Chain A
Amino acid sequence: MAQPGSAAPAGIDGSLLPGPFAVGHYAARMREYLRARTHVQLFGEVWNLRVSRAKVYFELRDAAGALPCSMWRGDFDALVLGDGALADGSQVVVGGGLDYYVGSRTSSPAFSFAISALRVAGEGDLLAQLDRLRRTLDAEGLFAPQKLLRRPALPRTIGVVTGEGGKARDDVLAGLARRGWAGRIVWAFAPVQDRHAAPRITRAVQDLAATGAVDVIVVARGGGSLADLFCFCDETLCRTIALLGVPVIASVGHHTDRTLIDDVAALSCSTPTHAAESAVPVHCAQARAEAVAVARRLGVHSSRAVLHRAQTLVRLSRAPGEHVARERARLHQGLREMRASGRRRASGEQARLARRALVLERRARAAALDARRATGLQAIAMALAAHDPDRTVRRGYALVSDRAGDVVTTGTAARAAGDITLRFGDGPVDATITPDR
């Protein structure tokens, strides 16, 4: 096996093995050897599916072992599989044979099963197992206990289980900073991907809870294939978390990935940042401002209550005095009105009396006038009486009148009248004039 262009070094002293041979030459011979093996059909589950521009890679797995597989992109596209038809966990049957990429000075060699034909056989056993486990845990009621735990609004200590070098750590810190939270954070670093991950994560969660000093636990991991996240579907881990006395917030993979820890945890978040924010529901800076505002309002209520009531008391204490003053004013007013009324009445009475006095005076004057008139009249009457014929008659004289009542003062008139009346003092006497003798 001489290699052209390079001289082979001396072999190992005492070795009975053939060679030394140039590795590239040996690798090429091995590729020929492998390619000469019989082509077969294999079946198993697809894991770590990766699609590159030239080739499609995945691992074909079952419980007993696994084989790296590759398929030319052109052959893969020719299958015209629908979106999601081939994914991690898919059960497939592949046809092909062993192949070996010999690599070079600048590229790594790779062994693979070169696939020339592929058929999707159905849902993978692992996914089916996952579903069965999910149903079992659900039937046992293990999805509920974590959700019944009280999650503090303002935890003082937060435990975080994550990979030490992962981006999730920074995301958790960013989420806490966004909340303005600066308490105590306890890191429990654990592998979050390989087959040793699940027990280490389980132990980390248990240890954090056992300290009794952690208020809430965040389990965080960034995105990855379902195979990468499969440790978070571990039955022991999920049962441990389900029965843990401390609330667990899970953030594993992206929102499209659903692991079993998402089901058993108190809360499932799509990103580690969101998980950190959920661990501290209170925005601390805002809460501080609100506390100050509440304190101010309490002060206002307190002083207002006292002040208002003091003002009421002052008002009430002034009330009797004001009432007396009002009464006094009312009495004074009444008094003034009464005096005015009295003055008005006296004045009216005086006017009335004056009027009456005037009337009386007038009457008196009238009476005096009447008296004077009466005196005059009496004099007149006496004068008249002195001339009254009846007076003369009563002295024995007689008054002659005709029958018509006219006074007859002469004998001629008496003769002319014929019938006359003689009125004596004691009464009239009719007489007839007889002719002269």
Chain B
Amino acid sequence: MTDPELTYEEATARLEAIIKRLDSGEAGLRETLDLCREGRGLVELCAAELEAVGQGLEELRLNELVARLQAGAG
């Protein structure tokens, strides 16, 4: 199961470790399937992070952000 609190860099670091383990050919069937499942979750997390900064630049002034946050909090 992928930890939703993982940061992008933590996710990519874990993915590198998973690929390295799989490439070694030392993982058994159960471990391989578990690693692949975990890896797919991490890829989805990374893709979501990349998607969040790929939708188009949004420019705000500080007071606009503050107003938006206050509106959201209210």
Is B40 a contact of A298 with CB atoms below 8 Å? Answer: yes
Residues on A with C-beta less than 8 A from B29 are 305-306, 309
Is A153 a contact of B46 with CB atoms below 8 Å? Answer: no
Is A302 a contact of B53 with CB atoms below 8 Å? Answer: no
Our count of residue pairs bridging A and B at CB distance below 8 angstroms stands at 108
Is A187 a contact of B36 with CB atoms below 8 Å? Answer: no
Is A211 a contact of B46 with CB atoms below 8 Å? Answer: no
Is A152 a contact of B39 with CB atoms below 8 Å? Answer: no
Q: For the complex, what is the distance from the CA of A316 to the CA of B40, rounded to whole Å? A: 31
A53, CB-defined interface residue at 8 Å = no
Given known A-B contacts A187-B60, A208-B62, A181 and B53 have beta carbons under 8 A apart: yes
**B8-52 toward A: CB 8 Å interface, digit per residue (1/0)?**
110010010011001000010100110110011001001101101
B74, CB-defined interface residue at 8 Å = no
Q: For the complex, what is the distance from the CA of A150 to the CA of B22, rounded to whole Å? A: 29
Q: For the complex, what is the distance from the CA of A159 to the CA of B64, rounded to whole Å? A: 13
Is A291 a contact of B47 with CB atoms below 8 Å? Answer: yes
A51, CB-defined interface residue at 8 Å = no
Q: Name A157's closest neighbour in chain B (CB-CB).
A: B65
Q: For the complex, what is the distance from the CA of A295 to the CA of B36, rounded to whole Å? A: 9
Contact among A182, A207, A288, A302 for B55, CB-based, below 8 A = A182
Is A185 a contact of B65 with CB atoms below 8 Å? Answer: no
Other CB < 8 Å A-B pairs besides A188-B61, A294-B39, 14 of them?
A: A150-B7, A155-B53, A156-B52, A182-B55, A182-B56, A189-B61, A211-B65, A211-B66, A211-B69, A284-B53, A298-B43, A301-B35, A302-B36, A305-B32
Is B57 a contact of A182 with CB atoms below 8 Å? Answer: yes
Q: Name A183's closest neighbour in chain B (CB-CB).
A: B53
Is A153 a contact of B12 with CB atoms below 8 Å? Answer: yes
Q: For the complex, what is the distance from the CA of A186 to the CA of B43, rounded to whole Å? A: 28
Q: Name B16's closest neighbour in chain A (CB-CB).
A: A294
Tell me how far the C-beta of B2 lies from the nearest C-beta in chain A, rounded to whole angstroms.
13
Give 3 nearest A-B pairs by CB, closest first: A183-B53, A302-B36, A153-B9
Is B62 a contact of A154 with CB atoms below 8 Å? Answer: no
* Contact residues, A283-308 vs B (CB, 8 A): 284, 287-288, 291, 294-295, 297-299, 301-302, 305-306
* Contact residues, A167-214 vs B (CB, 8 A): 173, 176, 180-189, 204, 207-208, 211, 213
